[in-house]
Each structure stands twice: as C-alpha cells, then as structure tokens.
A and B are shown apart, each in its own frame.
Chain A
Amino acid sequence: MANQQQQRMAATASNQADAQEQQLRPVQQVEQDKAFEAYYLQQLTKEFANDLDKLRSAGDFREQSLGVLIAALNQGTACFSKEERARIGDAQLN
C-alpha cells in the first residue's frame, strides 16, 4: 500500500514538474532535473512514511489534499542550487 502510494505520488509529481517546465532548457538538464526530483521525492516518502500515513488518515484529508501534499514535498527542490540538482540528478541517471 505504502509503495503504491509512493509510486502514485512520484507519478503525479513528475506530471506536475512537466507542466511547470515552461522554459526551454537543454534536454540533458531537463533529464537531470527530473531524475533529481524523482530521487528527492522518493527519499522524502521513505523518510516520512509514518507522518504521511498519519496525514492520510487525518480528519482533514480531502480529495485535493494529496496534490497539496505532493506539491509541498516536491517544492523543497528549490532549496538546491542548479549545480547540486544537476550533479545529483546526473548521478541518478548514470
């Protein structure tokens, strides 16, 4: 169940990232960013599995809550510099 949720979250996050990808960037950079985002989100879902379960069963969990939660987890990528994202993403790709 937790795995399915993680996969679902990762898939939704990936779609959101695609939609936000408005600026034209080199293909390599886009791939690195995507790989980094997927890795980062996977790491977070692993680290906070218990807290995320609690949120899912909380009384204020609505239909839109999942999207908000994924966006919230994913926004942390902004704390990383482009170089860091590229470096870690690149390592994930290889």
Chain B
Amino acid sequence: MSKRSHNTEDSSRPPKRPRNDDTQPPEEILYARQLQDLLVFRQDGLQQLRNAINSFKAFLESILYHREEPNRPRQLSILREYLESQKPADSHDLDKPFLTQLWQAWSFANQNNNDHFVSAVSSIFALLLKVLSGLIDFKEHGYLLCRTVIQYQHLRLIKRGLDAPKHKEFVISPCLRLLIEVVGFDGGQLAGELYKRREQTFDTNSLRRNLGLVRTDEDEDDAKRRVSVRTLTVRYVLAHIRYQELGDKIDILKQRPICSALFQCLRADPSDVVAEVLRTTEQNVLKDNELQRSSKAAVLTTQNLERVLDIATRSSERDEQTAIMAFNWLKAVCTITSFGIQRPSAWYPPGTTNVDLSRTAKSSNDAIDMGLDSLPFYDRESPVLRNTVLLSFVQYLRPQSNLKERELMLLCFKAVPELVAAYFAEKSSQLEPKLTNTWIGYASFLFEIVNLPLPEHAGSVDDEGFAQLPPQSSIVLESILPKPLTQKVLTRCLNQSSNLITFFAVRILVIAFQKLRQVRKEFTIGASESERPDLWNEAIDRLETEFTERCPGIKDTITAFKRLPDDEEHLAQREATTKLLRLYHEVLPLEALEEQFDISGPLTNALVSAQEASGPTGLRLPILENLLAIARQSSSVRWFHTQTSLRFSPVVTLLKLYLKDLTNRTYGDLLNHVLVHNSILCTNNDMQPCIQPLFVLSASLLDDPDDSVFHFIGDCFSRASRGPIKYQDDLDELAKSFGYEPESNDQVSLLLAVVAEQAKFVAARPDKEQKALVRWMAHLFVLHMDQIPESSLNVSQLYYRVAEALPSIKKSKTKVERNTTALQVRIRDLMSIIHQPASQQIARTAANTDAEELEEAKIAFRSIPEEPTSHPELTRWINKDLDLAFDDDDIAPLILCLSSQDGSIRQQAYAQLRNLSKNVEASSMEEKQQLHLLIAELLETYESHTAAFGIAEPLPYLASTFAARALAIQLDPAHFLYAKVNHFLLRRPGWNIRSLPPYWIRETLLSTPSDNTNITSFYWKEVQWVLEWLVDGVRTLADAKILLRSGVLEKLMVLPGCEFEGISEKAVKEKVMEIVWRVAEVGIEGADGLVKSCAGLSWSDIVAGGWKKGRQRVAKAVGQAVISKMGLSNIKAWQGTKLVAV
C-alpha cells in the first residue's frame, strides 16, 4: 500500500497533527569553530544538538554530492580543522574517544530511549564515514573513526540499534549503513576486525530477522528512494563476503540460515539488489578457487536455486536484464564443476566401472561364467547418485511449458548424464496421447532428451577412456527411450487419428533408433578396448532387447505409413515414417522381419514421381532414398521387371536417377548392390574402389543417350539376371577358346557377355537406334579395357564378337580412342563428382580440429602454384642483354614454360630456349659453357620426353624446376653444389627424369658433401637444397608418380626420425611433410599411392607423435589431406575395415 498523497483531500480522516518540535532550518557552516561550538552535547540541549546535527548533515552532503564546487576546498579545510580538533589526546583513552560529544549524545539518547535522536546521531556517523571514504586525504581520520566505532562500548550502541523492534526501521537502517561503511573502508581493511566482534556486529539471529524485513508494497523507484532494512542487511552481508579473508568467509558461509535468508526474499528485492547478490556470490564465492565445495554448496541449495529460477523465468514484472543475468548464473552453476554442486558423472554410478577380474568366473576354469549377472550391482540396485542437489532442482523445472527452463534442464542433462535416468525414475508422468499444448510440450521435451549427445567413452568420466565394464543397460536405455515412452503409449500414439501426435511419436522413434545405433558403435569400441569384451557384447544385446520391449512393433509403423496418402500434403509425415521403417530394417533387422512389408508399390510410385519430375525434389528425395534403403533389405522387389506405370524397370530408372545425381551414395550403393548381387556386374576387392564396373557403366552413359539405349540396357540386365549361368558359361568358353584361364573372367561383367550376344539383334534395329546403341557400346568397351586392364584380353574378344555383328562399332571405337583427352576428362570429371561427397563427408564428420588442421596445413605450406594465364617470360629475355637476362632471373620462368599444360606455350618455350642456347654459345659470358651445357641437356631431355610420351605430354615440373635451380648454381661458382651439378651435367647429354630424384638423393642424402670444411653443415645444406627442389617440383600428378615409383618418398619419409645436428629440425621435417602433402594434394592417385605404398597415414601419425604439441597439427594435417583426397570409405575399404559394396 503506497503512502497517501499530500494533496489528497480526504475528509474521512482527521487532519494530521502538526509535529511539535523546534526544528530549525540548517545553519550554513562557514568555519570550523562554528562546528565545534554547535556539535556540543549537553543533557539539556538535545534539541540544539539535533539542529546542529542537521546543519552538519547538510554540510557533509554538500561535500559528498559536490553541491558547492567553488567552496569545496574551503569546506574540506573546515572539515579537516574540525576533525583535528576532535582527535583525542590519548587514543587509548576510552572515555574520550574521537568525536566524544557525538558518542556521548548517542549514549545518552540510548539510555533515555530517544530513538529519533539515536537515529540522527548514527546517521551522521554513517554519513561522515561515507564522506571520509571518498577523500583520500582524510584516510587517517576515517581509520580513526572506524577504530572508534569498533570499540566495545560503541558497538553495544550499534547492536542495540540493530536489534530495535521491526517497526523502527529508522533506528536499524543508520546502524547498518554505518557498519557497511566500516566493512568496506579502504578496501575492507577493517572487515576482519569487525568480524572478530561478531557477537555485536554479525549476530545470526538479528541479521536473519533483518533479512526478512522486506517491503513488498513498493515499486522500484520507491525502493531506491527509501532503502529497506532487508536491502541494507543484504548489502552488509555481501560486503562481508566480498571483503573477508578465506577463514572468515568460510565461517560466514557455514551460517546456513543467513545464506538461506539472503536468497529467501529475492523475488521481492529491487533489481539492483538481485544483481548484487548474484554478482557477489558468483565472483566472491563460486569463482573463489580457494573455497571448498562444501562452503560453496551453502549458497547453492535447491531452495536458493529455485528462488533464482523464479527471477530468471517465472517473474513477469522483472526487467529482462536481471532475468538474463539470473538465467546465466543458473547455467553457470549447473554446468561448471568448480562452482560446487555439479559433479562429473555420466552412465556409471560410483564403483561400477571396474571389477576384480581375478575373482570373476572367467578367470577360473571351475566356475560357470554368468556374464553380467555375476556383477552384483548390474541392473539390480537403484543407482547411487552424485548430483542430488541438481536432481531436486531439475525436478522443479517445467520443461514442457517453458523453453528457458527446458534449455536449463537440457544443459544439466548434458553436463551430468546420470540425471536423465534418475529424473525419470522419480517422475511418474506418462505420455498418454491427447492433442493438447501440454502433450505437445512434453513430447517435444522428450524428443530433446533423446536427441542429447552421447557422453564420451560410453559415459565413463575417467580420464583413461572406456571403462572395463559396460554401463548398465537400464541407465543407458533411459537416455534412448525414457520411461514415459512405453510400448503401450507409443503404440497408441502411432494409431491416433490426429496426424500430429503420430508424427511426433514417429520422430521420437527415429531419433531413438539413430541413438541406439550410435550407442552400439560406442559399445563396440568399448568392447575392443576392454579386457572383458564379452560383457560389453552382452550389454549391447541386453540393451537392444530392452529397447525392443519398449518400442512398438514395426507393424504399427507400417499401418501408420499405409494411412498416409502419397501427396504433397503429407510429405513430411511420409518422410519421417519411411525413415523409421528404414531404421527398423537397418538397426533391428530381426524385428523388421516379423512383419511382411511390400515395398514395391510405394517404391514404384516414388520412382514414377521422380521420373516425371526429372529427379526427386524437396522431401521427396529423402523419401525415395528411404524406400530404396528398405527395398535393399527386401526380397520382394522385382528390380528387373518393367511395370506398366514405369517406363523402365526399377533398376534402370534408378540408373537414370544416379546419372543425374552421381554424388548420391544411396543410388550408387544400391545399384552396385543389386547389379552385383544378381551377378550382372562383377566386383573385385583388389580393384580400386572407384574403378568399379558401375563406374565404367556410368561413364559410358554420361552423354545422356536416348531412351533406346536404356531400354536395351534394361533388357540386357533382365536377360543376365534370368540366366547368369548361361552367360558365365559363354564367357568361360570364350576364355577357353583363346587359351585363357577361366579365372581371367573374374573381372568381366556378365553385362558385356549379354551385350555381345545381343549385338546381332541390334543390327536389325532402325538406323537412329542402332547408331545410339553402337556409340554407347563403343564407349562401354573402350572404357572397360582402359579402366580395368586386368580384363582387357577377355573384353577384347567380346568386342570382336560385337564387331562381327556390328561392323560400324569399329569406327565408333576408333573415334572414341582417338579422342583420348575427352575420354580422360570424362573419367576425371566422374571421379571428382563421385568422390566429392567422400571428401565433403570427411570435412563434415571430422571434428572442428580436423578442419583447423587442414587450414593450418594450408597456412603452413605454400599452396601449389598454378600456371599463369599469360606468359610474358617467353619473350622477356629477348629485349635484354644476355647477362642482364640471366641476372634478372628471366630464364628460369622460361624454362618452366616447358611444363605448361598448353602445348603451344611449350612449343614456343622450346623454340626460345633453342635460340637462347645459340646466343649463349656465341656470347662472351664467363659461364657460357656451363650454361650452354645445361640448356642443351634440358632441350635434349624435353625432346626425348616428347618422343617417348607424345607431344601432348608436358615435361614434368621435377625436370624443369631442377633445370631452373641448376641454372642459378651455374651462375654462382661458389655455390656448395657447383661441383656436383657440373659432375651431373657431364655424365650424359640428357636426363632420365625418373632417375633425377633418386640420383640427387643418392648424391646428397647418402653421400658426403663436396665441401669438406664443415661436413655437417654442408651435408644439411645440400639435403635442404634437394628438399626445396622437390617441394617446388611436385606440382602435378606426373611429378607425384615419379616420386612414388622411384622409391624416393620412402627414403625422405625416414628423415623426420633422424637426429639433427647443425640444422633446425623443423627446416628438414617440415620440408618432408610439405613434399608428402603435395603428393597427396595433386590428385587422388597421389594420395592413393601414399596410403598403399608408403603407409602415409601411419607415418603422419608417428611423425605427429614425435613432434611438440604446437606442431603436431601440421603433421596430422598431412594425414587429413590424404584422407580427404582419397576418401575415407576408400581408405577403409583398402584397410579391410569395411567391405566394398557387394
């Protein structure tokens, strides 16, 4: 209730009685003597003293609030003079303390119960101390006043004031203000002294009562103007917490009633007080690392957390800033372990991670192994909880209706996964389906619970990784399908008339199945690292059984799916339901087999729709993928049978879709699966995974041939699937007739045999169709022979058979073969498209650190230089004197033009170098012989290279960069490699490019240096030169292949393990890493060679292990570059950790 307004005319009440006192207006203080005269205590002159106190108050306020800035120095001088005059002659004389007159007046008023006078005197002391606190020159006087305050006889007066009856706020408040000033004076220097006298200054009962004196009927502005006793007491307690030393702080926090009372009325406190409470407790208690957890826990009781939560989420009139602050405070408290109440604990209750193996049955032969049942605690006892406070706090939250509280709860569950099972163990609520906002809120909350990430190491919080024993399946299950989601409830949800309820249930199940799959993976890793894998495997089985008992049968999902019409209005529901059906088949295949589900109809419809729309769009794409994944597991799909609604058979339709979206793994994998499973395409694990028959088939169809080709392919597929033995016999006979082993057919697809057989019927087709088919067949055979050379002999024979029936194919074949560049571009494009998702997948699945590592590699290593679009260097040297051209380094870029991808640039460079060679020979340069020799040998090398590999093949950069670097040496006879380079040049008129790197490795790494003066130093200089050349030289796949085939890489990769003397270890190691990185970067074959021939991945790990932490990332990044280039699936396939699609 607010105070009545002065102007309100209220005739029902008698008029206020005028105050009968002799109060005078404050007197202006002009000199110190005036103060001395006024502030004198006489028993008969209390009113005069009161007037004087008012005048002093006005004077002090003028100083404190800077009201008279020009007079301020004079006022300070008056104050100083007055205080000096009040100093006691003897500081130990208790009878005559500092400001004796005022203390006597307080004592007298106290004896006479003159509360108003007590209030006036105590207020003036508080004000004076406040003024002195802000004036650095008055520090001595401030100390003197504080010490006077903490004298026993004065503290007694204060204590009396603090204990005054509740309604006498005017007595209590000034005493609290005075104490607050003393605690905080000079950064809390006297706080300890004050706390020593806690009987008077920190009486628990008194403080607790005062903390409860809250004004509930005031708004924020009133509260600021008339500060309540509670607010002052809160500030006093907080000041103690802020300024006390560790021991006293612990002592204060032990007084639970005070800690509790501090938060009790938080809801009614003004915002600034709430902010102060939260800030001080966080900064001075929770973040104080010297305080023990038990002391911090005094602040963090469940009740206190609930009161802060009221401010954060449930108080509508509270300003937003305070609410956010309270929410952040709670988030920190719930998630930061050092704050006191959060203890790390996931899926293992204390003492359940290990067991004494020597006592288990497994180790003794005479006992029966009971597996998990031999563990006394496993799935039997209600688990011991480490975070009881947090549990009772989360029980208080309303996650179903308040999103902020849900966020807080999920944070708690994420930080402490043990709470999930414990929370649902105590909650009895069920998710009975009913279309209400409460149900939706609760269902979405459960979705979030299931969607929580898995704790690391299957919930073991030990630093050592996975525990010896698996976590209890009953605990894990609550995180996958919480208790309210019973089979009965979920089944009812799936059979609801409300689509929204069914949809929510389906989504929860989808996420639960995905989580179960993740848990299974995690358990498998746990089993591989445990001494008792049998227990882990048993735990997986047990978990899956319990999951199956809790989730509804597949038939309910099938029913729900059948209810959904196949139209635009039900796409999201169809997507979710098909995903759930797919997960049933993939995660719990045995459960899926319980109910027959004919996928053909929905699949055909989806294919028809995709075919009409020239590819599925929006949610239709995942629906089709889900149906295809289910169809893969199903035996009822007739892949090769053409249906009325589909233009082609399902497999050909799928092939067409795949050709439009080659990055789609679902399409590719399924096609491979169907065609290989039906023996139409062959497979061989020894082959590079990318060079599969499907790859060849796809490459042959990239021209988007007309439908007759696809009809023909469909027909061939159908024939091959119907009579695989017949066509296999044909192939075997063919092989036999040419004297090949039957095994040579291992890599020949039956499709080719069918095509060869059907070729004679193609001859009878109309011209247009025949042309299209012949063209496709030519591509198919050429690509087969080119990409799978192991099968080329047998495929050639099949080709001849086709050529007999269709002579026009010879022309087409020649055309295709002549245009090798186009063919290679086609293969390269296809490979890059097919491998795109793999590399993207790597980038996506790799943690952030991996991305950072790759980024770091890019920063650490120079990117491979790209060829410029213009080549001014071709003619730059002509316009200069020969000497100057060499000095200006114009020749080296010209030499590099021999490696240009553009044939005309290479020809021009060759002509220019020839001219240059003649000019050098005719010049008067000192080094002309050596230079001429070098350029002549380079030209000779180029000529022999083009003669061997064709004019289309550029000179490898390894050769051109070597020549460019050797040129610099020839111009500098003092160079440490001068002798060796000249020796090399004198050996032969041209260079064998493949032998170039091994030669220089032999001459430097495995030999002594030419300069014997300082062997170590020159040895490393030479090695470094070679390394720098190799880094510069690896720019294309051709360069990488030279290094891989010549065995140079293996020799270089030994270097990081060597002892380094006389050179920076980093200089050598990083150069080697850069060479390896470049080999991986230039192309998939480089990465492939590194993994398969040089154990590049293990090597990068070993090197990383030997490096300091800061540089480890660079080494790891090389491994990452290899993985991203080659594709994780290919690596796994090669390692044998994953089977290639069969």
The residues of A with any CB-CB pair to B shorter than 8 Å are 23, 39-40, 43-44, 46-48, 51-52, 54-55, 58-62, 64-65, 67-69, 71-72, 75-76, 78-80, 82-84, 87-88, 91-92
Bound together, the chains give a CA A82 to CA B840 distance in angstroms of: 11
Indicate if B451 sits at the interface (CB-CB under 8 A).
yes
A60: which B residues are within 8 A, CB to CB?
436-438
Residue of B nearest to A87 (CB): B621
Q: Quick check: A80 and B441 within 8 Å, CB to CB?
A: no
Bound together, the chains give a CA A47 to CA B498 distance in angstroms of: 12
Write out, one digit per residue, whether chain B residues 383-419 have a CB within 8 A of any chain A CB (1) or not (0).
0000000000000000011110000000000000000
Q: Quick check: A69 and B440 within 8 Å, CB to CB?
A: yes
| Contact among B447, B569, B618, B837 for A88, CB-based, below 8 A | B618
Q: Quick check: B402 and A64 within 8 Å, CB to CB?
A: yes
The residues of B with any CB-CB pair to A shorter than 8 Å are 400-403, 435-438, 440-441, 443-444, 447-448, 451, 498-500, 503-504, 507, 510-511, 514, 569-573, 576, 579, 617-619, 621-622, 837, 840-841, 844, 848
How close is A30's CB to chain B, nearest CB, in angstroms? 14
Bound together, the chains give a CA A47 to CA B618 distance in angstroms of: 15
A84: which B residues are within 8 A, CB to CB?
621-622
New A-B pairs, 15, CB < 8 Å, besides A79-B514, A80-B622: A40-B572, A43-B572, A48-B503, A51-B500, A54-B435, A60-B437, A65-B441, A68-B400, A72-B440, A72-B444, A75-B448, A75-B507, A83-B844, A88-B619, A91-B617
Bound together, the chains give a CA A52 to CA B503 distance in angstroms of: 13
Q: Quick check: B511 and A78 within 8 Å, CB to CB?
A: yes
How close is A56's CB to chain B, nearest CB, in angstroms? 9
Contacts A47-B569, A47-B572, A68-B440 given; does A75 touch B451 at CB 8 Å: yes
Dominant secondary structure at the A interface: helix
Q: Quick check: B572 and A72 within 8 Å, CB to CB?
A: no
Q: Quick check: A91 and B618 within 8 Å, CB to CB?
A: yes
How close is B838's CB to chain A, nearest CB, in angstroms? 12
Q: Quick check: B511 and A72 within 8 Å, CB to CB?
A: no
Contacts A43-B619, A51-B499, A67-B403 given; does A76 touch B576 at CB 8 Å: yes
Show 7 residue pairs from A and B whose CB-CB distance is below 8 angstroms, ordered by the A residue: A39-B618, A55-B500, A68-B401, A76-B576, A79-B514, A82-B844, A91-B618
Bound together, the chains give a CA A47 to CA B448 distance in angstroms of: 22
Contacts A60-B436, A79-B579, A88-B619 given; does A68 touch B448 at CB 8 Å: no
| Contact among B447, B499, B618, B840 for A48, CB-based, below 8 A | B499
How close is B187's CB to chain A, nearest CB, in angstroms? 38
Contacts A48-B500, A91-B618 given; does A79 touch B569 at CB 8 Å: no
Bound together, the chains give a CA A80 to CA B438 distance in angstroms of: 26
| Contact among A55, A59, A91 for B440, CB-based, below 8 A | A55
A47: which B residues are within 8 A, CB to CB?
499, 569-573
Q: Quick check: A75 and B444 within 8 Å, CB to CB?
A: yes
Bound together, the chains give a CA A44 to CA B506 distance in angstroms of: 14
How close is A69's CB to chain B, nearest CB, in angstroms? 6
**Residue among B507, B570, B618 with the most chain A CB within 10 A?**
B618
Q: Quick check: A68 and B572 within 8 Å, CB to CB?
A: no
Bound together, the chains give a CA A80 to CA B626 distance in angstroms of: 12
Bound together, the chains give a CA A39 to CA B575 distance in angstroms of: 14
Q: Quick check: B444 and A71 within 8 Å, CB to CB?
A: yes
Contacts A71-B403, A78-B451 given; does A43 touch B437 at CB 8 Å: no
Contacts A72-B443, A79-B576 given; does A61 touch B437 at CB 8 Å: yes
Residue of B nearest to A68 (CB): B441
Contacts A48-B500, A60-B437, A75-B448 given; does A88 touch B621 at CB 8 Å: yes
B438: which A residues are within 8 A, CB to CB?
60
A76: which B residues are within 8 A, CB to CB?
507, 572, 576
**Residue among B441, B447, B514, B840 with the most chain A CB within 10 A?**
B441
Q: Quick check: A62 and B503 within 8 Å, CB to CB?
A: no
B444: which A residues are within 8 A, CB to CB?
68, 71-72, 75
Residue of A nearest to B843 (CB): A26
Q: Quick check: A64 and B499 within 8 Å, CB to CB?
A: no
Q: Quick check: A58 and B436 within 8 Å, CB to CB?
A: yes
Residue of A nearest to B845 (CB): A82
Contacts A75-B447, A80-B622, A87-B621 given; does A68 touch B403 at CB 8 Å: yes
Q: Quick check: B510 and A62 within 8 Å, CB to CB?
A: no
Bound together, the chains give a CA A47 to CA B499 distance in angstroms of: 9
How close is A74's CB to chain B, nearest CB, in angstroms? 9
How close is A44's CB to chain B, nearest CB, in angstroms? 6
Bound together, the chains give a CA A64 to CA B399 distance in angstroms of: 12
A80: which B residues are within 8 A, CB to CB?
622
How close is B622's CB to chain A, nearest CB, in angstroms? 6
How close is B341's CB to chain A, nearest CB, in angstroms? 25
A72: which B residues are within 8 A, CB to CB?
440-441, 443-444, 447, 504
B503: which A residues are within 8 A, CB to CB?
48
A71: which B residues are within 8 A, CB to CB?
403, 444
Q: Quick check: B436 and A55 within 8 Å, CB to CB?
A: yes
Residue of B nearest to A55 (CB): B437
A39: which B residues are within 8 A, CB to CB?
618
How close is A6's CB to chain B, nearest CB, in angstroms? 14
| Contact among B437, B448, B571 for A62, CB-based, below 8 A | B437
Contacts A76-B507, A91-B618 given; does A51 touch B572 at CB 8 Å: no
Residue of B nearest to A54 (CB): B435
Q: Quick check: A58 and B437 within 8 Å, CB to CB?
A: yes
B436: which A residues are within 8 A, CB to CB?
55, 58-60
B507: which A residues are within 8 A, CB to CB?
75-76, 79
B618: which A residues are within 8 A, CB to CB?
39, 43, 88, 91-92
Q: Quick check: B510 and A79 within 8 Å, CB to CB?
A: yes
How close is B534's CB to chain A, nearest CB, in angstroms? 33
A82: which B residues are within 8 A, CB to CB?
844
How close is B407's CB to chain A, nearest CB, in angstroms? 10
B619: which A residues are within 8 A, CB to CB?
43, 88
Q: Quick check: A83 and B403 within 8 Å, CB to CB?
A: no
Q: Quick check: B437 and A68 within 8 Å, CB to CB?
A: yes
How close is B1043's CB to chain A, nearest CB, in angstroms? 33
Q: Quick check: A55 and B576 within 8 Å, CB to CB?
A: no
Bound together, the chains give a CA A75 to CA B621 distance in angstroms of: 20
B511: which A residues are within 8 A, CB to CB?
78-79
How close is B844's CB to chain A, nearest CB, in angstroms? 6
Bound together, the chains give a CA A67 to CA B401 distance in angstroms of: 9
A40: which B residues are within 8 A, CB to CB?
572
How close is B404's CB to chain A, nearest CB, in angstroms? 9
Bound together, the chains give a CA A54 to CA B437 distance in angstroms of: 10
Residue of A nearest to B570 (CB): A47
